[in-house]
Structure 1
Amino acid sequence: MPWSQPWTVLRLILLLMSSEFVRTGLLVSYLPLVAPGLHLSAGAVGLIFGVHYLADALAKGPVGVLTERYGLGRVLLLGSGLGLGLLLLLHRSPGLPLLALVSTVWGLCYAALWPGVMAASQHFARPGMTSRALSVTSVSVVPAIVLGLLGVGQLMQRQPGAAFPLLLGGQLVALTVAASLLTLRLPRANLSAQAVPGGAPQDRPGHVPFRERWGRVGVLLPAALAQSAAPGLLATVFYPLLERLNLHLSQLFVPVLLGVLVGAASLWAFGRLADRFHPRAALMPGLLLLALTFLLAGFPGLEGRVTLVTLMLGLAYGAFIAGWNGLVGRTLPPEYRAAAWGTVMAVESLGNAVGPVLGGVMWAAYGQAGVFWSGAGILLLVEGYYLWPGRAVMRRARPPADVRQDEGPA
C-alpha cells in the first residue's frame, strides 16, 4: 500500500465512501421521491440540496484551518452526527426552515471531510508514492457515489421501504468510523527544524515565505476551475444526448466497464510516472488526450464510436488524475495542507457548478458539437496555462525541501 499507516488512511477512505453514499443517496435519489409525503415541494427539496452543497463548497478552506487547530477527528465526528440527525429529522416532518438549517450546518462540517482525507493521505504517503496515494484516495469513493445515485434510486422504485434503513445503516457506519478517528490530528510541518543554525531565512532549506507558499496555491486555482467545468458540461445533457443518439443506458455498461478498467490501470501507471519524474509528465498528456476525446465525441456518428471514446476517456482520466493530484500534493504548503486542499477543492466545486450551466446553454444553441467542442477548447486552454504562464510561476516557486524529499526524484 502507498501509505505508512494504512489502517488510519483506510478508515478515512471508508468514512468518505459511506458518507458520500449516504449524501448522494439521500439528497439526490431519496429525498425528491419522498418529498410529497413529507409535505415538501420540489422547490423545498432544491433548497435543502442547494444550501448543503453551497455550504460545503464555500467552507472547505476555512474549515480546513479549524481542523488543523482543533483536530480533524472531532470535526469529522460532528459532521457524521449531523448527517444522522438530518436523516432522523426527515420523518418527523419538522418543516422546511429546520431541515434547511440542519442541512446547511451538515454541509459546513462536511466541508472538512474531503480536504481532511486528502491531507491525511498525503501526510501518510510513503516516500516517492505521493501521486499514487492521492490518486487512489480520490477515485476510491466513485463506486459509493454511483451506488448512492443509481442503487438507491432503483431501490426506491422497487422496494421503497428498504431505502431508508439502508441509508441509516450507511450513516451509522460513518458515525462509528468517525468515532474511531476522534483523536486524529495531522501535525503541521515543522519547518524551523530544517533551519541552518544562525542562518538567515533565505539560507534555510525549508523556509519559503508565506506569500510565496500561498502564491503557488493561487497558481492552481484557474486550472482547477476550468478543468472541473469541462466534464461538468455533460451533467445536464447526458440523458438528452443518449436520447438523440438512440442509445439505452444498458448499452453503455460494457464500454464504460472497459473504460473503468483502462482508467484504473493507467491511474497506477501514470501515478508511478508522476512520482518518479514530475506530475506534469502525467498531467500534460492526460489533458491533451482528454481534449482530443472531447473533440472526437463532438463529430456526428458518436453512437458508433462509444467504445473508442470510453477507452480514450479511461486512459486520459487515469493520466490526468494521477498528474493533477501529484501536482497539488507537490505544490501545497505542508504546514497548511488541509486548508490548502480545501481552497483548491472549493474552486473545483465552483467549476462543477459552472459546467452544467454552460453545457445546457451550448446544447440549446449548438447541440452535441457545441457541448463537446466547448469542453475540448477549455481543456486546451488549461493545457496552455500549464505550459505558460502557470509553469513559469511554479518553476520560480519550487516546493520546499520536505515536499521534494517526500516525492522522490523529480
Structure 2
Amino acid sequence: MPWSQPATVLRLMLLLMCSEFVRTGLLVSYLPLVAPGLRLTPGAVGLIFGLHYLADALAKGPVGVLTERYGLGRVLLVGALLGLAALLLLHPSPGPSAPGIVLISLVSVTWGLCYAALWPGVMAAAQHYSRPGMTSRALAVASVSVAPATLLGLLGVGQLMQRQPTLAFPVLLGAQLLALLLALSLLGLRLPRTAAPASHSATRRQNFRERWGRVGVLLPAALAQTTAPGLLATVFYPLLGRLGLHLSQLIAPVLLGVVVGLAALWAFGRLADRRHPRAALTPGLLLLALGFFMAGLPGLPDRLLLVTSLVGVAYGAFIAGWNGLVGHTLPAEYRAAAWGTVMAVESLGYAIGPVLGGVMWAAYGQAGVFWCGAGILLLVEGYYLWPGRAVMRRTQISD
C-alpha cells in the first residue's frame, strides 16, 4: 500500500466509488427512463443533470476551502445525505403526487455543491497520507480507482433498467446507504494544514501569490489535456458506425488497453517518484499524441489492438506523471482547495471537448477529431517543456 494510513484512504476511495456509481447510474441510466412517471420532460431531465454537474465543477475550489476550515468528514456526510435525498425524490411512487422540477433541481444543485468536496478530498488525503517516495503512485491509484464504479453505473444500471427495472432502485439505494455509512465513519476526518510561516504582511501576501501561482501554472495544461479525450464524447457512436464496428468488438481491445495501462501506471509511477513526474508525463503525452494520430489514419479497425495498447501505455504514464506533478506543485497549506481548483478547470475541458469534437467531426470526419486531439496534446507537451517550466522556476518549484 502506498499510504501510511490505508484504512482512511481506502474508505475514502470506497466512498467515492459508491457515490460515482450512484450518481452515474441515477442521472445517466435511471432518471431518463423513469422521467415519465415523475412527469418530467427530456428538457427537465437535462436541466437536472446539467445543474448538478455544473455545481460540482464550479464549486470544487471554494468547497475545498470549506473542508479545510470545517473538516472534510462533515462536508462528505452532508453530500451523502443529499445524494440519498435526490435518490428518494427521483423514485416514482404510486399516486398522483410527484415532486416538482423546482424541488428536484434545488436538491440536485445542493448535492452537486457538496459532492464537489469528494474528489479533491480523496486526492488531498491520498497525497497527505502517501508514504515517502510513493506520492505519484498513491495519487495515480486513487485517481483511477473510480473508473470501474462509473462504468458499472453507466452500463450495469442501464442493463438493469432494460431487463429487471424493479431491481435498479434497490441496487442504487443500497450503494447510497453504504456511502452514507462510510461518510459517517469519516465524520471526524480533518486533513492537517501546513501553516505558512508567520511574517510581515507584505511577505505573507507575496508567499500567497507564489503558492497560488503554482496552481495557475497547471491550469492551461489541465484545460487542454482534458479537452483532447472529451473530443470523442459526442462522436463515439457515429464513429463506430462509420468504421463498421459493433460495441462488442471493442471488448477485447479495451480490456487489453486497460491491462497494459495498469501495468504502465505502476511502472511509470515508480519512475515519477524516483526521478521527477515529468519523466513519466513527457513520454505519456507524446505517446498519447501518437495514439491519436494513428487512430485518425484510414484502416483503424485493422490496427485496433495496436492503438488501444499504445493508448493504454500512454495513459498509464500520463496519469502517473500528471498526478505526481500536481502533488509536487500544489501548496501544502491549501491542498484541498488547490486540488479543487485544478479539477474544476479539468471539468471545463471535458465540457469544451464534446463541442469541439462535434465541430471537427462535421467538418473533417474521423481524421479531424483524432488529429485535433493529437495537436492539442502536442501543444500541452510544448507548454510543459518551455513556458510552464519557466514559470515553475519563477514560482520556486523544484525541478
The bucket for the TM-score relative to the shorter chain is over 0.9
Deviation at 1:397, TM superposition (A): 2.4
SS of aligned partner of 1:161 = helix
Alignment match, 1:366: 364
SS of aligned partner of 2:26 = helix
Alignment match, 1:157: 162
Alignment match, 1:7: 7
Alignment match, 1:340: 338
Deviation at 1:137, TM superposition (A): 0.1
Q: For 1:202-281, list aligned pairs within 5 A.
A: 209-281=207-279
Give, as a single letter, the amino acid of the residue that structure 2 aligns with 1:347: V
Deviation at 1:388, TM superposition (A): 1.2
- Residue 38 of structure 2 contacts residue 99 of structure 2 at CA under 8 Å; is this kept in 1? no
Give, as a single letter, the amino acid of the residue that structure 2 aligns with 1:146: L
Partners of 1:146 and 1:270 in 2: CA distance = 25
The answer to whether 1:188 aligns with 2:193 is yes
Q: For 1:322-333, list aligned pairs within 5 A.
A: 322-333=320-331
Partners of 2:261 and 2:214 in 1: CA distance = 29
Partners of 2:138 and 2:217 in 1: CA distance = 23
With the length of structure 1 as denominator, give the TM-score of the two structures: 0.94
Give, as a single letter, the amino acid of the residue that structure 2 aligns with 1:115: P
Partners of 1:398 and 1:249 in 2: CA distance = 48
Alignment match, 1:299: 297
Partners of 1:118 and 1:373 in 2: CA distance = 32
- Residue 132 of structure 1 contacts residue 322 of structure 1 at CA under 8 Å; is this kept in 2? yes
Give, as a single letter, the amino acid of the residue that structure 2 aligns with 1:212: E
SS of aligned partner of 2:232 = coil
Partners of 1:95 and 1:44 in 2: CA distance = 10
Deviation at 1:190, TM superposition (A): 3.3
Deviation at 1:191, TM superposition (A): 4.2
Partners of 2:355 and 2:178 in 1: CA distance = 35
Partners of 1:125 and 1:222 in 2: CA distance = 27
- Residue 68 of structure 1 contacts residue 186 of structure 1 at CA under 8 Å; is this kept in 2? yes
Partners of 1:371 and 1:112 in 2: CA distance = 33
Deviation at 1:95, TM superposition (A): 1.2
Deviation at 1:38, TM superposition (A): 1.4
Partners of 1:395 and 1:285 in 2: CA distance = 21
Deviation at 1:207, TM superposition (A): 12
Partners of 1:201 and 1:30 in 2: CA distance = 53
Alignment match, 2:102: 97
Deviation above 3 Å: which 4+ runs of structure 1?
199-202
Alignment match, 1:124: 129
Deviation at 1:396, TM superposition (A): 2.7
Alignment match, 1:174: 179
- Residue 73 of structure 1 contacts residue 184 of structure 1 at CA under 8 Å; is this kept in 2? yes
Alignment match, 1:381: 379
Give, as a single letter, the amino acid of the residue that structure 1 aligns with 2:149: A
With the length of structure 2 as denominator, give the TM-score of the two structures: 0.96
SS of aligned partner of 2:193 = coil
Give, as a single letter, the amino acid of the residue that structure 1 aligns with 2:46: G
- Residue 191 of structure 1 contacts residue 207 of structure 1 at CA under 8 Å; is this kept in 2? no
Alignment match, 1:133: 138
Q: For 1:388-399, list aligned pairs within 5 A.
A: 388-399=386-397
Alignment match, 1:144: 149
Deviation at 1:209, TM superposition (A): 1.1
**Identity across aligned pairs (percent)?**
79
- Residue 29 of structure 1 contacts residue 152 of structure 1 at CA under 8 Å; is this kept in 2? yes
SS of aligned partner of 2:125 = helix
Alignment match, 2:63: 63
Alignment match, 1:311: 309
Partners of 2:22 and 2:243 in 1: CA distance = 32
Alignment match, 1:320: 318
SS of aligned partner of 2:20 = helix
Partners of 1:305 and 1:365 in 2: CA distance = 25
Deviations 1:64-85 (A, max 9, x none): 0000000000000000000000
Give, as a single letter, the amino acid of the residue that structure 2 aligns with 1:276: R
Give, as a single letter, the amino acid of the residue that structure 2 aligns with 1:252: L
Residue ranges of structure 2 left out of the alignment (5+ in a row): none
- Residue 228 of structure 1 contacts residue 352 of structure 1 at CA under 8 Å; is this kept in 2? yes
- Residue 60 of structure 1 contacts residue 115 of structure 1 at CA under 8 Å; is this kept in 2? yes
Partners of 1:190 and 1:225 in 2: CA distance = 29
